[in-house]
Structure 1
Amino acid sequence: MVGLRERKKQRTRRALIEAALRLFDEKGFEETTLAEIAAEAEVSTRTFFSYFASKEDVLFFDGASRLALTVEMVSSRMPGERLADLLLRLVRASLQRAGDDDLSMMEAPLRLRLIMTIPSLQARALHLLLDGQLQLARALEDAFPDELDHVDAAAAVGALIGATKLAAISTINRGGSLEQAEESAVRAAQLALRGLSSIG
C-alpha cells in the first residue's frame, strides 16, 4: 500500500507534468520558464528540481519507467517462449500501459507535435530512443543466450521499434486517432516480426 508521503509526491509530480504540458501548449515550449511551471503547479522552483532536472525531462516523464518495465518483461521471458512471441507481447503490453495511463494518452498528440517541431527535443528523443534500444537489445541477448548474439538482438530491437514507432507517427500525422495509431503499431510489429522469423 502506498503511504501518504508517497501519494503526496505522486500528486506533486503529476501537477508539475500537467502544468508544464498546459503551458507548453499555450505559450510554447521554449517560451515557458521553469519558474512559470512551478508557479502553475503551486510549488517552488526548488521543488521542481526535486522531481525534474529540466523542462525536457518533464516532457519525457514516463520514458524511464516504461523502459524499465519493458526490460523487466524481457528478462522474465517465459520458458520456451519464442522471440517473435515475446516481442509481440512487449508491443501489446506497451500499448496497454499507455492506454491505462490517462495522462500519457491525453497528451500524446501535444508531445508528438513538440518533439517533431523543436530541434532540442528531437535530439533528446533520439538520444533516449538509442539508449533504450541498446538496453533492450542487451536484455534480449541475455534472455536468449543460446539463440541470439548481439547483432541478432540489435536487429530485432531496431526492426521492431523502428517499425512500430514510425507506423504510429505516420498514422497520427495523417490525422488518425490514437486508437488507429495503436492498430498501426501492432500491424507494423507483425510485419517486422515476419521478417525476423529467421532469427533464433
Structure 2
Amino acid sequence: MGLRERKKQRTRQDMIEAAIALFEERGFEEVTVAQIAEAADVSTRTFFLHFAAKDDVLFESADVRIDLGLQAIAERDPDERFPAVLRRAMDEMISNVGDDLVSGAAALRVRLAATSPTLRARLAQQYATIQSEMADALHKAFPDELHPVGAATLMGALVGAVSAASVAAIHRGDPPEDVREAMRLGADLVLRGVEARGFR
C-alpha cells in the first residue's frame, strides 16, 4: 500500500474513531456530520468522500461481509452441498466482524439502536439485505435442492440466530473472539437442524 492510500485509510479511521467517541458521549441523534469532521480535523467534504451519511460509520464493513458470503457461494466446489457452503460462507462473514468488535462500533451500534429509530431502521435494512441477497444466491446455486421460499426461510433463521447470539455476547461484555464464537454457535445450531434432515 502506497503512502497516499495509507493516508486515506488513516483519515478514514480518524473519522470512525471521532464519530464513535462523539456517539458515546452525546448519543447518535445529537451528533452532526460537521461535528464528526471537526473532531477528526477534516472538512465535511472529506467526510462525504468516505461516507454517505453518519450512520455509515457504524456499518462500514457490512457490504464487505455480504460480498464475502456471496463469494463463498459462487466459489463452491461442484460436489459441495449447500449446508457445507453455508457453513463456509457464514464463517467467512463472521471472521470479518473483528474490526467492528475491536473498534467498539459493534457494541455501540447495539446500544444506540435501542434508542435511535434511524439505527433500528438501518439494522433492519442490513439484515433484510443480507437475507435477500444470500437467499437469492443460494437458490440459484442449488435450484434442485432449495425452493426460493426455503432459501429465504433458511437465511432468515441464520441471520436471526447469528445476530441474536452477537447481541447477547456483546451485552455480556464478551471479548471479540468470544463474540465471534457465539455467532458461530448461532449459525451451527441452525445448520445442524438442516443437516439432521439429511442434507450434507
TM-score in terms of structure 1 length: 0.88
- Offset of 1:175 from its aligned partner? 4.5
Q: Do the aligned residues in 2 keep the contact of 1:148 with 1:199 (CA within 8 Å)?
A: no
Summarize the alignment of residues 43-58 of structure 1 with structure 2, pairs less than 5 Å apart. 43-58=42-57
In structure 2, give the amino acid aligned to 1:164: V
Secondary structure of 2:41 counterpart: coil
Whether 1:23 and 2:22 are equivalent positions in the alignment is: yes
Structure 1 CA distance for aligned equivalents of residues 12 and 24 of structure 2: 18
In structure 2, give the amino acid aligned to 1:56: D
Structure 1 CA distance for aligned equivalents of residues 101 and 162 of structure 2: 17
| Map of 2:168 onto structure 1 | 170
Q: Do the aligned residues in 1 keep the contact of 2:101 with 2:107 (CA within 8 Å)?
A: no
Structure 2 CA distance for partners of 1:157 and 1:199, relative to 1, 3 Å: farther
Whether 1:127 and 2:140 are equivalent positions in the alignment is: no
- Offset of 1:180 from its aligned partner? 3.3
In structure 2, give the amino acid aligned to 1:86: V
In structure 1, give the amino acid aligned to 2:108: L
Q: Do the aligned residues in 2 keep the contact of 1:91 with 1:189 (CA within 8 Å)?
A: yes
Structure 1 CA distance for aligned equivalents of residues 169 and 29 of structure 2: 27
In structure 1, give the amino acid aligned to 2:143: P
Structure 2 CA distance for aligned equivalents of residues 135 and 61 of structure 1: 18
| Map of 1:138 onto structure 2 | 136
Structure 1 CA distance for aligned equivalents of residues 156 and 198 of structure 2: 13
Whether 1:36 and 2:60 are equivalent positions in the alignment is: no
Structure 2 CA distance for aligned equivalents of residues 95 and 156 of structure 1: 17
Structure 1 CA distance for aligned equivalents of residues 158 and 136 of structure 2: 15
Q: Deviations over 1:10-60 (max 9, x none)?
A: 222221111111111122212211111101111101111111121111121
In structure 1, give the amino acid aligned to 2:103: M
Q: Do the aligned residues in 1 keep the contact of 2:14 with 2:40 (CA within 8 Å)?
A: yes
Q: Do the aligned residues in 2 keep the contact of 1:164 with 1:189 (CA within 8 Å)?
A: yes
Q: Percent identity?
A: 46
In structure 1, give the amino acid aligned to 2:163: K
Structure 2 CA distance for partners of 1:128 and 1:98, relative to 1, 3 Å: closer
In structure 1, give the amino acid aligned to 2:42: V
Secondary structure of 1:117 counterpart: coil
TM-score in terms of structure 2 length: 0.88
Summarize the alignment of residues 64-143 of structure 1 with structure 2, pairs less than 5 Å apart. 64-99=63-98, 101=99, 103-107=100-104, 108-143=106-141
Secondary structure of 2:96 counterpart: helix
| Map of 1:155 onto structure 2 | 153
RMSD after superposition: 2.0
| Map of 1:14 onto structure 2 | 13
Unaligned runs of 5+ in 1: none
Unaligned runs of 5+ in 2: none
Alignment length (residue pairs): 197
Secondary structure of 1:38 counterpart: helix
Structure 2 CA distance for aligned equivalents of residues 69 and 3 of structure 1: 25
